[in-house]
Chains A and B, each alone.
Chain A
């Protein structure tokens, strides 16, 4: 019921089995009627990334499973998170408390231990010691960036250049997973390809991202951006160069950015080849369904990669327009190979700063 999207669009096969509706599940909601869920966001909505994606998962869960849902922003001050969790645990009426991202792990573990009766799901995290009342999932950013890397490299091939670029928000592990996966994917296509990279220094400074991209675009045709709201600046820069008669392209992240810009800024949208996306809404909804069916492996942390349909890239009209059929076929083929295990992208999770440094230096122009 959760996979409302056309599975064909995602390229891979959906792992979601046809799900029973909430009413038919083996679980009885605490209030006896409908499922009562709350999502505690460790930050603020509007990140255009996992917070927003998880928030839309809640809408999906509400419409597909008829659950009562609520989303709470806990803000950026970490010290406020614990009291919020405790407020909701003490309330006692929630069947599940959802949360998202690694940053909340410490708090989650502490609260889970203090409230053993309460069940929690972290929809996108790496956790080592998962308490028995917690279930964690992780979308492999490295693998979706692997796809982006392949797309970028193929596009570079088509343009006859040997360099692609990356603009990140901050030089932090979460962002570097994108970079490393991207480099890995690009080198999978062309081992000699060069990858320029830079960091904006903020997820909320699109103007600065634009400055970065304007410089990088001088000798780079394609830029993959993982910089939250700042990433918009990269598209703007691509538009500016293209307007001058020097076509430049971008790859977006987190949501299908071409489609979301299509109405407000068609020129920018038409330069976004694709976007790498976490399937958070789908797999979160799936997880809640599994919960209803009693199928959640509590106390574990599951990785959701290409194989599990945890991540994907956007295949929209612009993708078809900007990338040749041949290249697209190539990407699909390699995608299947990853699923079948013939190709294994680098495991970027928990990579040390030194390893990251080594890989990105090696690929630097």
Chain B
């Protein structure tokens, strides 16, 4: 236990939480936007994977991490565009479309990896770009806080900025209004001449954009190469985080952090020799328990309200 605390009560542990959370936050924000427009995007996992690959490949070809990032984003937009085309225009079931994109990504990236560097495992033999880490002046002078908050990859900061951006987008901008209206009542939106399909397509594109940033982080920030299936379920975790965060940007960011913390904890516990098979379930258990507690509380609260109302003194004596 002491050993565990020694590992956990360090700035680098909290630093690692932010790093672990980065790709999840991106994808979860993507899900928030898509879900708000009533079109759940479960292709996040695949989009991240494709973006991770494309980012690696193009940065290797161009020797520029920024071009890599740009191409990763374009690939994310392209995937989301394909998904939008089929699910919105051709009315493919959106869940099926997501499964299809995920399938395309898991096979397609390995296939492309093989064509690109004759290796079906990783691209480590090819030098590819890494996005810079940012030392925040002043902040990095502060002892503990600086160590935790400064020196992250630029995408980590972008991830948390994206939370604010999504919040403003949804609450303050006309597009956000349209997204919400379409998600809540597509007919109502249509009746005022909002092009429902177009708005949903934009939502999917935004979510593809955000997920592609998460993917780029995987291969160009977190580590500096691509390896098969490297997203390893983070897209699904993001979907869980979004559901637990009730589609609200801030709530979703918090649940993503919760998950990141549990993941960082499981890493620490794993290093200390806890049973590996069980330790790896910690983040999922935490999410599950968190969700249960959250739901029970919601349930209680609604019950409580009802009971409170019952106990209220009658406006007129009964009888």
Chains A and B touch each other in the complex, with CB atoms below 8 Å apart: yes
Nearest Cβ distance between residue B213 and chain A, in whole angstroms? 15
B7 and A232 form a contact (CB under 8 A): no
Q: How far is the CA of A117 from the CA of B267 in the complex (A)?
A: 51
Q: How far is the CA of A156 from the CA of B187 in the complex (A)?
A: 70
**Selected contact of B228 from candidates A218, A229, A263, A364, CB within 8 Å:** A229
B224 lies within 8 A of chain A by Cβ = yes
**Selected contact of B270 from candidates A212, A214, A361, CB within 8 Å:** A212
**Selected contact of A236 from candidates B16, B223, B268, CB within 8 Å:** B223
B113 to A, closest residue via Cβ: A46
Contacts of A281 in B (CB 8 A): none
Q: Which of A32-40, A91-99, A202-210, A339-347 contacts B (4 or more CB under 8 A)?
A: A202-210
A202 to B, closest residue via Cβ: B232
Given A211-B264, A232-B122, A261-B124, A206:B223 Cβ within 8 A: yes
Contacts of B12 in A (CB 8 A): 214-215, 218
A228 lies within 8 A of chain B by Cβ = yes
Q: How far is the CA of A243 from the CA of B119 in the complex (A)?
A: 29
**Selected contact of A229 from candidates B121, B127, B270, B275, CB within 8 Å:** B121
A265 and B124 form a contact (CB under 8 A): yes
Q: How far is the CA of A48 from the CA of B127 in the complex (A)?
A: 17
Q: How far is the CA of A219 from the CA of B229 in the complex (A)?
A: 30
A-B contact count (CB 8 A): 113
Given A208-B232, A232-B227, A263-B125, A198:B222 Cβ within 8 A: no
A264 and B264 form a contact (CB under 8 A): no
Contacts of A210 in B (CB 8 A): 222-223
A215 and B268 form a contact (CB under 8 A): yes
Given A218-B7, A229-B122, A229-B227, A205:B232 Cβ within 8 A: yes
A196 and B271 form a contact (CB under 8 A): yes
B270 and A264 form a contact (CB under 8 A): no
B124 and A44 form a contact (CB under 8 A): no
B110 and A46 form a contact (CB under 8 A): yes
A149 lies within 8 A of chain B by Cβ = no
A211 to B, closest residue via Cβ: B267
A266 to B, closest residue via Cβ: B127
**Selected contact of A198 from candidates B114, B263, B271, CB within 8 Å:** B271
Contacts of A64 in B (CB 8 A): none
**Selected contact of A206 from candidates B128, B230, B270, B272, CB within 8 Å:** B230
A261 and B16 form a contact (CB under 8 A): no
A204 and B232 form a contact (CB under 8 A): yes
Q: How far is the CA of A354 from the CA of B110 in the complex (A)?
A: 38
Contacts of B223 in A (CB 8 A): 206-207, 210, 232-233, 236
Q: Mark A228-268, 1 if CB is under 8 A from B, else 0.
A: 11101100100000000000000000000000110111000
**Selected contact of B280 from candidates A46, A201, A207, CB within 8 Å:** A201
Q: How far is the CA of A233 from the CA of B200 in the complex (A)?
A: 38
A237 to B, closest residue via Cβ: B223
B60 to A, closest residue via Cβ: A264
Q: How far is the CA of A364 from the CA of B110 in the complex (A)?
A: 38
A198 and B273 form a contact (CB under 8 A): yes
A120 lies within 8 A of chain B by Cβ = no
B122 and A199 form a contact (CB under 8 A): no
B127 and A199 form a contact (CB under 8 A): no
A171 and B276 form a contact (CB under 8 A): yes
Given A197-B273, A201-B270, A215-B271, A265:B121 Cβ within 8 A: no
Which of B10, B110, B273 has the most chain A CB within a 10 Å cutoff? Answer: B273
Given A206-B225, A215-B268, A52:B121 Cβ within 8 A: yes
Nearest Cβ distance between residue A257 and chain B, in whole angstroms? 8
**Selected contact of A207 from candidates B113, B122, B222, CB within 8 Å:** B222
A1 lies within 8 A of chain B by Cβ = no
Contacts of A230 in B (CB 8 A): 227
Per the 8 Å Cβ criterion, residues 203-227 of B in contact with A are 218, 222-225, 227
Q: How far is the CA of A200 from the CA of B279 in the complex (A)?
A: 10
Contacts of A196 in B (CB 8 A): 271, 273
**Selected contact of A204 from candidates B113, B125, B228, B271, CB within 8 Å:** B228
Q: Mark B215-257, 1 if CB is under 8 A from A, else 0.
A: 0001000111101111010000000000000000000000000
Given A199-B276, A211-B264, A46:B122 Cβ within 8 A: yes
Q: Mark B1-18, 1 if CB is under 8 A from A, else 0.
A: 000000100101100100
Q: How far is the CA of A211 from the CA of B15 in the complex (A)?
A: 11
A-B contact list, 10 entries, CB within 8 Å: A45-B121, A170-B276, A171-B277, A196-B273, A201-B280, A206-B230, A218-B7, A232-B223, A236-B224, A264-B125
* Given A47-B121, A204-B230, A263-B125; 5 other pairs, CB 8 A cutoff: A197-B273, A212-B270, A214-B12, A230-B227, A264-B125
CB-based closest 8 A-B pairs: A46-B120, A46-B121, A199-B276, A201-B280, A171-B276, A264-B127, A198-B271, A211-B267
